[in-house]
């Protein structure tokens, strides 16, 4: 097992900086998830760690050793990709044994290691099959097995579940968690899926446009996002944002945005009249009340029934706000209805005009 450190690492392709000044410490035995939208530099970061890309700037350390000049094969890394890249003409056993054969391990050692890993992954019955005779999930398991048998000091995963259907993804996610409890080797896992990130990571590093936004434990990211990007990225449906200007009336602060007025009673005492502010409110923090009783009025634009919950898209003037409510609470609601929207001020997140967090909701 080994720690991993990125120190002010930068990488450009054709004048475009795809990773900027990345500094990140990953502890020995940690499961770190690197998450962000497509194209934000996740794979490039992983490939630099594996030695498949060369950084333009900065240093990368594995187990305290700078690996900038170390060849990929000498970095002691196991990598699992989205495309399984199995050898089609080899059986499952041969695929898993391949790297060990290259290392010239003895037949009995190879049998023992492949057998143990196959048991761990539920592949024992499939060892004589070829990849074409396996389901997608089984192939992905073989790809993992192939990395596991080598017992590297760090595992890298690049969107390994993206090719699987939704149900299988959920199943494999649980298996990966269980696997990490058995094989405590340091893991760095890349995904664009924030649910995967939340459920798998000891910590999550959020990347946007090549810039690390925040690295923290899953709930910390959700409850105390550093900025509007992290706040909007973590959580489904996304947080609603309302921009406006702080106004005071008889000593009570409001956020004013045209005719929309959101009361800020008791939220932040440091607000100045006239300053710009962005409020964040999670869809789950919104409730519908009679039109006369809400904090503001909205028109129902779309209702998505999801089972026990429903997502209601509302128009507040030209802005869409999404509420996540229990289906039973909105059974009589129809598109076009005017409703009052209410939330408690304790649920509000505050951000400044450049999107950095000013305050978070008070937690119970
Ligand atoms: P992610 O994995 O987060 O989706 P990548 O790290 O693959 O993102 O890519 C980041 C950006 O760098 C993208 O805009 C991509 O097009 C670009 N890029 C990646 N690899 C290369 C390359 N070899 N040559 C030129 N541009 C590249
Ligand atoms: Mg990628």
| Count of other CB atoms within 10 angstroms of residue 122 | 11
Quote the ligand 2 centre to 39 CA distance (angstroms): 7
**How far apart are the C-alpha atoms of 229 and 221, rounded to whole Å?**
11
Task: Report the pLDDT averaged over residues 150-154.
Answer: 95
Which amino acid residue places its CA nearest to atom 26 of ligand 1?
13
Do 73 and 50 form a contact (C-beta atoms < 8 A)? no
**How far apart are the C-alpha atoms of 77 and 118, rounded to whole Å?**
20
Which amino acid residue places its CA nearest to atom 22 of ligand 1?
13
Task: Report the pLDDT averaged over residues 309-314.
Answer: 96
Which amino acid residue places its CA nearest to atom 1 of ligand 1?
39
- State if residue 210 touches ligand 1 by the CB under 6 angstroms criterion: no
pLDDT in tens, 162-179: 888 888 899 889 989 999
The alpha carbons of the chain give a radius of gyration, in whole angstroms, of 25
**Would you list the DSSP string of 259-272?**
TEEEE-TTT-TT--
**How far apart are the C-alpha atoms of 174 and 298, rounded to whole Å?**
40
**How far apart are the C-alpha atoms of 289 and 307, rounded to whole Å?**
21
pLDDT at 355: 97
Do 153 and 76 form a contact (C-beta atoms < 8 A)? yes
pLDDT in tens, 340-358: 998 877 889 999 999 999 9
> Which residue from 171, 147, 211, 187 is spatially nearest to 33, judged by alpha carbons?
187
pLDDT at 84: 80
pLDDT at 305 exceeding the cut of 80 = yes
Q: If you count them, how many residues does the chain have?
A: 364
pLDDT at 267 exceeding the cut of 80 = no
Pocket perturbation via mutation, ligand 1, pick of 33, 34, 39, 210 by most ligand atoms within 8 A of CB: 39
Chain-centroid distance of CA 163 in Å reads: 17
pLDDT at 77: 95
Do 236 and 283 form a contact (C-beta atoms < 8 A)? no
pLDDT at 1: 83
pTM: 0.93
| Count of other CB atoms within 10 angstroms of residue 292 | 7
User: Which ligand has the shortest distance to the CA of 34?
Assistant: 1
Quote the ligand 1 centre to 327 CA distance (angstroms): 42
pLDDT in tens, 239-250: 999 999 999 988
Nearest ligand 1 atom, CA 158: 2
pLDDT in tens, 29-75: 999 999 999 999 999 999 999 999 999 999 999 999 999 999 999 99
- State if residue 42 touches ligand 1 by the CB under 6 angstroms criterion: yes
| Average pLDDT of every residue of the chain | 93
User: Which ligand has the shortest distance to the CA of 38?
Assistant: 1
pLDDT at 260: 79
Indicate the pairing of strand 276-281 with strand 349-351: antiparallel
* Contact partners, residue 231, CB within 8 Å, separation at least 6: 225, 239, 241, 280, 349, 351, 357
Which amino acid residue places its CA nearest to atom 18 of ligand 1?
13
Pocket perturbation via mutation, ligand 1, pick of 12, 17, 18, 196 by most ligand atoms within 8 A of CB: 18
Q: Which of 166-170, 192-196, 324-328 has the lowest mean pLDDT?
A: 166-170
Write out the two tokens for 317.
């003037």
Residue listed under structure tokens 């050692």: 109
Write out the two tokens for 354.
């450049």
- State if residue 341 touches ligand 1 by the CB under 6 angstroms criterion: no
**Would you list the DSSP string of 220-269?**
HHHHS-SBHHHHHHSSSSPPEEEEEEEEEETTEEEEEETTEEEE-TTT-T
Give percent of the chain above pLDDT 90: 80
pLDDT at 364: 62
Nearest ligand 1 atom, CA 46: 6
pLDDT in tens, 97-107: 999 999 999 99
Quote the DSSP letter at residue 159: S
- With H, G, I as helix, E, B as strand and everything else as coil, classify residue 325: strand
């Amino acid at each position: 097992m080994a720690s991993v450190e990125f120190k002010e690492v930068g990488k450009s392709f054709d004048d475009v900086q795809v990773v900027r000044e990345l500094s990140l410490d990953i502890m020995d035995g940690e499961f770190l998830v690197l998450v962000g939208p497509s194209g934000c530099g996740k794979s490039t970061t992983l490939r630099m760690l594996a030695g498949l890309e060369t950084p333009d700037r900065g240093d990368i350390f594995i187990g305290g050793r700078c690996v900038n000049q170390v060849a990929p094969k000498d970095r002691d890394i196991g990598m699992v990709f989205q495309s399984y890249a199995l050898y089609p003409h080899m059986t499952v056993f041969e695929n898993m044994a391949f790297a060990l054969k290259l290392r010239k391990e003895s037949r009995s050692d190879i049998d023992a290691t492949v057998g143990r890993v196959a048991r761990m992954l539920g592949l024992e019955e499939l060892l004589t099959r070829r990849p074409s005779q396996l389901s997608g999930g089984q192939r992905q398991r073989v790809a993992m097995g192939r990395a596991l048998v080598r017992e590297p000091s760090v595992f890298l995963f690049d969107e390994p579940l993206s090719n699987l259907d939704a149900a299988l993804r959920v199943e494999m996610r649980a298996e990966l968690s269980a696997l990490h409890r058995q094989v405590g080797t340091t893991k760095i896992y890349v995904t664009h899926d924030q649910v995967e990130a939340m459920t798998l990571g000891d910590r999550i590093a959020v990347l946007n446009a090549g810039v690390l936004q925040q690295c923290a434990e899953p709930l910390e990211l959700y409850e105390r996002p550093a900025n509007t990007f992290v706040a909007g990225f973590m959580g489904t449906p996304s947080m609603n944002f309302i921009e406006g200007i702080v106004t005071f009336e008889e000593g009570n602060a409001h956020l004013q945005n045209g005719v929309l007025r959101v009361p800020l009673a008791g939220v932040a005492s440091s607000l100045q009249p006239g300053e710009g502010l962005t409020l964040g409110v999670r869809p789950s923090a919104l409730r519908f009340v009679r039109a006369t009783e809400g904090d503001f009025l909205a028109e129902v634009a779309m209702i998505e029934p999801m089972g026990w919950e429903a997502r209601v898209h509302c128009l507040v003037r030209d802005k869409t706000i999404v509420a996540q409510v229990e289906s039973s609470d909105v059974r009589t609601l129809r598109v076009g209805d005017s409703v009052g929207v209410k939330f408690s001020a304790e649920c509000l997140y505050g951000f400044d005009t450049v999107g950095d967090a000013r305050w978070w909701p008070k937690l119970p």
